[in-house]
Structure 1
């Protein structure tokens, strides 16, 4: 870590029951898996990155509503950079921040696992590659990373979605690793999901109009409506890991509490699968997607 902190990560072997539960329900929670010290080290490193960000250089706002209308070159370039995206409610009518910069960022992505030493050390650790192989991946690769703040009072809603919509492979292979850097509660915007909802299949694909274009579109593959009563809350303690099947439908509500909900999300695919050139995220960093340490 930047402050000389050594990354102590757990030794982990999933029980067969846990593997079966993941495939049955579409998700698996490993409670308090990461130490508080590692969580705090990642949080502190992110604070350093924000301190070095020139807020006047870009004003990109992240929203999951009408995604195609908010796609620009900055967003596309974030596949290979450490990019900063603001909360929708961060600015007043004059375009000025309503609170401090550190309380205004929605997320930072999408190449932390490549571009920052601390996040790379954590993200590409042997333990995660081995775990992904246990869950069925032949050649796991890290493709996308995001630090998500869920800011107090203005933390935006993330509508119900499936991660494979944005990181499509043939056949399906996406797995999301969602680490709770802070406690995630009903009050500050924990995840909600639809158990076994992944069995419905993928509903949409978010893709480029053409491989080289920054223009994007949302393609409907299947008509289906998730119902409120199907959702189950997934509150977790600090240091917990939520493993998400790429077709598992999940969301988080807006955070109107006075407490943030920091999380770090890492998405992996199986390199044995086809990764279409129409996917929005294309990376040439270090010759492609990242191998987990062996």
Structure 2
């Protein structure tokens, strides 16, 4: 895909989908690392800090990373990681650090210089397990969660496993990046995961599913409306998510539990 096609797709849809962007061995290395990390940092470990979230749910902090369990236990859980929803703050760790600094990743972001400039920070990362039986996340815009003084940001979503309609793929609303940040209301489902909110004042009739294979990459505007569907399969739909911003971006207010860790990944000199 040429640079002009990147720009056209971005301006029209608010996202770019790149097939086979990363070797699947790197995806497996990410999965292997995070499974070992979660198993090593069990809630009963002396190295883990238990924290109450504002909604009274419990999250865990281990070596600077935030482990968020599923509020609704998954029905097929057999191992420690099977009841984990997400792990935040990974982009200073290998193999995640190597990914955000890869020239191929930064070359794609170059096309979006008009949004985030030439000097770039990765400020948040997460590994998403989406285990068998896990609920999807409702319609939202990532910038709603990110009180920062420079908008928008750019999200980079790496498929670590296959993503299908059955196992919980993303749905996006093309063109919704041109909308302002909409009102988000709390997810009303009993036992909804910590931080889940949803947009209820928009027509999502034209939403499209993003079906992906391991190594595929979705790059999207932080105003783009998107959601994930429930995992109705018997296997995990794993992904790694990274958020990039213009260097020098600052938060405008504190965010409970979630933290931003601004890490330089490109400088002009």
Normalising by the smaller structure, the TM-score range is 0.7 to 0.9
Residue 260 of structure 1, CA deviation? 1.1
**Deviation per residue, 1:133-181 (Å, 9 max, x gap):** 321221221011110011012x222011101111233441211000000
Q: For residues 14 and 85 of structure 1, do their structure 2 counterparts lie closer, same or farther at Cα, with a shift above 3 Å needed? A: farther
Specify the SS of the correspondent of 2:213. coil
TM-score (norm 1): 0.74
**What is the CA–CA distance in structure 2 between the aligned matches of 1:245 and 1:231, rounded to whole Å?**
16
Residue 291 of structure 1, CA deviation? 1.0
The yes-or-no answer on 1:277 pairing with 2:253 is yes
**Deviation per residue, 1:241-294 (Å, 9 max, x gap):** 0111000000001112112110000011112555313455555xxxx6111156
8 A contact 2:120–2:266 mirrored in 1:
no
Residue from 41, 47, 67 that aligns with 1:84: 67
Which residue in the other structure is 1:197 paired with? Answer: 176
Residue 117 of structure 1, CA deviation? 2.6
**Deviation per residue, 1:23-65 (Å, 9 max, x gap):** 221111001211111111111111221221123357979xxxx
Specify the SS of the correspondent of 1:84. strand
Q: For residues 248 and 70 of structure 1, do their structure 2 counterparts lie closer, same or farther at Cα, with a shift above 3 Å needed? A: farther
8 A contact 1:40–1:181 mirrored in 2:
yes
Q: For residues 248 and 235 of structure 1, do their structure 2 counterparts lie closer, same or farther at Cα, with a shift above 3 Å needed? A: same
**What is the CA–CA distance in structure 2 between the aligned matches of 1:25 and 1:71, rounded to whole Å?**
36
Residue 16 of structure 1, CA deviation? 1.3
TM-score (norm 2): 0.81
Which residue in the other structure is 2:129 paired with? Answer: 149
> Number of paired residues?
252
The yes-or-no answer on 1:161 pairing with 2:144 is no
Q: Structure 1: state its 5+ residue gaps.
A: 1-12, 62-66, 207-216
**Deviation per residue, 1:68-112 (Å, 9 max, x gap):** 52577x57x68x8222211122279xxxx9532121111111x10
Which residue in the other structure is 2:95 paired with? Answer: 118
8 A contact 1:85–1:108 mirrored in 2:
yes
8 A contact 1:59–1:86 mirrored in 2:
no
